[in-house]
Chains A and B, each alone.
Chain A
Amino acid sequence: MLERIEKAKDQMTAACEAMGRPINIMEVCGTHTVSIFRNGIRSVLPAGLRLLSGPGCPVCVTDQSYIDTVLRLADRDDLLIATYGDMIRVPGRGGSLETKRAKAAVRVVLSSEDALQLARDNPSKVVVFIAVGFETTAPATAVVVKEAAADSLENFCIFSGHKLVVPAMRALLSDKNNNIDAFLCPGHVSAIIGYGAFGEIVDNFGRPCVVAGFEALQIMEGLAEICRQLSCGEPELKSVYTAVVTRDGNTAAQKIIDECFEAVDGYWRGLGKIKKSTLRLRDEYGRFDAVQRFGLHEIPAEDTTGCRCGEVLCGLIEPPQCSLFERACSPEMPVGACMVSSEGACAAWFKYGRKRECRK
């Protein structure tokens, strides 16, 4: 294994020299971000190679207006809010789900099935499932919406904040100020959508897209493959995570997403409105859509806290460049979503990055 790591390092160093300029590679997966810090990968990279933590953590990319809407729903007596634990501490107007939990009906669930069961067990309440996440969690939501429809379970609905990875990558590259040379693509999102889904990024933008798993060797070999492609000027689509990810992905999961959802324009933290990037329930499942059921309107919120999560998510700054980092914003008292989630770039920097990288 050491030999393979050394070989990967050599490939990266050679590519940096051949390029004669810094190389910026963006990872778009919160689990990659954590693994990169946990394994100290940044410390062994050649000086010219920089890793940017992109919009890969579902909690981090969720727009503030969505969070505020969830908090408003949590104030209603007739509802039960079912949420993945990741969302519970994200601050919004008037607190977070955690601060509301004392007086409001908020339940943490481990799966969409648990949320559906909550509806079955509480017929006098309407259960609203806070459906966030990328293509890995979207099919799980679709399954329970179909079950609810089949069972005519009318006291269940979802508030979809499901996001699609590829439109976000497209949006980042469409900004002419972007500094992204290549993407290290997410492992388990790719298990669903297949690595072929990144083909348009390679074809239309000329950026290498390489899918990697989560352990150190996978990430190093993924980065080395990207460097090799950059140095020879031939961007390609590739997966080094062959044990799990195929070109076509999980077609059964893709089918059920497509049956239940359609892609619509949606807001992302930091990236603004992105075309066809968010999943909304199709009209035939409209009665399970919290937006239709409660007439919800998302109003893009102006952030007045000084939080720079948005720029972090676009790879424009590193967390320590935000004036709140470590001072007003820490994992105990988070201001922005990237510090809340354990997969967020700010939280990872806080735990592992500070001494070595920001105090130089």
Chain B
Amino acid sequence: MCLAIPARIVELDGDRAVVEAMGNRWRAKTTLLPEAGIGKLVLVHAGFAISLVDEQEAKETWRLLAEISEFNETPNRLSG
């Protein structure tokens, strides 16, 4: 639940942003991150940008998220 998702800010109006990552766009707020700006990569947690993040870190997290999504979809039976 504490995993934040790196996403790029593609629209920004006051503290209301639209962010994009992994082929999805969604609304997020930048209230907690005054340094946020259009084009910047941020970590988004529960609808709020909480930190800036660099490109390499973002890519690694996207890969991990894809894995965790796979983990959550793993049937609940003995694996391995």
Chain A interface residues toward B at CB < 8 A: 29-31, 34-35, 37-38, 56-59, 84, 86, 110-114, 133-134, 136-137, 139-140, 143, 186-189, 191-192, 213-215, 243-244, 250, 252-253, 256, 330-332, 341-343, 350-352, 354-356
Contacts and interface: CB of A to CB of B under 8 A. Distances in A.
Interface of B: 1-4, 27-29, 31-34, 43, 45-48, 50-51, 53-54, 56-57, 60-61, 63-64, 67-68, 71-72, 74, 76, 78-80
A130 to B, nearest CB: 12
Dominant SS among interface residues on chain A: helix
B78 A112 contact: no
Contacts of A134: 2
Given A29-B2, A214-B61, 11 more contacts: A30-B1, A31-B3, A110-B47, A137-B45, A143-B29, A143-B48, A187-B2, A188-B50, A253-B50, A256-B32, A355-B78
A98 B28 CA distance: 27
Contacts of A137: 1-2, 45-46
A31 B2 contact: yes
Given A111-B48, A140-B45, A215-B63, A34 B2 contact: no
Contact of A252 (B33, B60, B74): B33
Nearest to B70: A38
Contact of B64 (A58, A113, A136, A214): A214
B29 A244 contact: no
A333 to B, nearest CB: 10
Contacts of B45: 136-137, 140, 188
Q: Sort A-B residue pairs by CB-CB distance and give the 9 closest, nearest first.
A: A111-B47, A243-B57, A31-B3, A191-B51, A253-B32, A136-B2, A140-B48, A331-B76, A188-B4
A186 B45 CA distance: 14
A250 B61 contact: no
Contacts of A133: 1-2, 46
30 contacts: A31-B68, A34-B71, A58-B1, A58-B2, A111-B46, A112-B47, A113-B27, A114-B47, A133-B1, A133-B2, A136-B2, A136-B4, A136-B45, A137-B1, A140-B46, A143-B31, A191-B50, A191-B51, A214-B3, A215-B64, A243-B53, A243-B56, A244-B57, A250-B51, A252-B33, A341-B1, A342-B71, A350-B76, A351-B74, A355-B79
